[in-house]
Amino acid sequence: MFTRTKNLQLSVIKQIEIRAAKYPDVISLAQGIPSFDTPACIKRRVERALKNGVVAKYSLSPGLPELREMIEISLAKENMYYDWQKEIIVTVGAIEAISAAILAISQPGDEIILPSPSYTSYKEVVRLAGCTPVFVPLNETAGWAFELAKFAKAITPKTKAILFCNPNNPTGTIYSRQQLIGLAKLAAKHNFFIISDEVYKNFIYGSEEKMFSLAELPEMRKFVIRIFSFSKAYAMTGWRVGFIHSDESIVSEILKVHDALVTCAPVISQYAALGALEMGERDVLHFKQQYQERRDLICSRLNKLNNFLHYIKPNSAYFVFPKVINHNDSFAFALELLDKIQVAVVPGVAFGPNGEGHIRLSFGRTEAQINGAFDRLERYFKA
């Protein structure tokens, strides 16, 4: 009984949040939920759809035609050219897209390579598909960079894909064009897929304003599966809507899994996504400015704790991933912070073995929450 789930774990992030809910005055820098409400222009688009009576029925399994057509237009602006009728599926957020992709391309016993650290739910999705996650450590001293030799060494005849998020969650760093091209060459040589989760692409700070995606390369169409979610960019985590795109030969197989799992993404959420693409760009730029200011704030507070926490300044997303000095059990440390000072953080071990000894802090929260949490952290460390 429960053979498929016996080796799965509830996300450590969810475990922390459930435990944190017991404390009425808790300050959470754990879960990556934007502090902002969904923009008014998106709500108005949904209200119009409700008024017109078009949200009560299923959409086509790949999604609303008008939304997929708008996604095609938005992709073309980023030098990615995909046919909305055959190569784009609207999904229930990014995690359903990732799940459907892995179930479509793999069979039990296959291996999926994961950079370590990377998003905590990846490994559970891989296990749910009957596959084995293979962790490859990122180079912390080089800014959490890919080391292609280590990835090449991890490839076996069972390797089916490399799955990563770019920008990276939890480190807040971006993989360079050179690093990604190196991965692309490995994929083409050994005939495996690259699944690129790019949900934080809109939040890049400093001089590097644009992130490179392997989905821009026509020669990689049959190897690259790209995923995006509206959750983070448009403050829509509760709407649960995103999309996946790739070559028609791949998407046609993923669609079978998507249809079996969910039939279609919630239609009301698809209209919200349509509103986001039609009118939400100004709000995204506002969110980015706010996150950059909060990034600078959390770094300034971390600088005051440099005897206890060492960090690499993130240049994207809204997380920072400091190393905790003289603490090797990050889960125990996170529970101690929660129980002693009611500050919720995510233990680094949740993101793979190379995350041990670190904690993830989100600056997606308000400035007041960041300052309140760090006031408590300073008292804790300096007691």
pLDDT digits (tens, 9 = 90+) for 295-326: 999 999 999 999 999 999 999 999 999 999 99
Give dist(CA 347, CA 340) in Å, integer. Answer: 16
Q: Indicate whether 206 pLDDT > 90.
A: no
pLDDT of residue 208: 59
Mean pLDDT over all residues of the chain? 97
Which CATH code for domain 40-278?
A: 3.40.640.10
Q: Indicate whether 44 pLDDT > 90.
A: yes
Burial class, 232, CB count within 10 angstroms (exposed 0-12 / middle 13-18 / buried 19+): buried
Report domain 12-38+282-381's class: alpha beta
pLDDT digits (tens, 9 = 90+) for 8-43: 888 888 899 999 999 999 999 998 999 999 999 999
Mean pLDDT of the region 325-354: 96
Degrees (nearest 5) of the Cα angle 234, 261, 12?
60
Give dist(CA 54, CA 15) in Å, integer. Answer: 38
Give dist(CA 121, CA 118) in Å, integer. Answer: 9
Domain ranges for the chain, please list them. 12-38+282-381, 40-278
pTM: 0.96
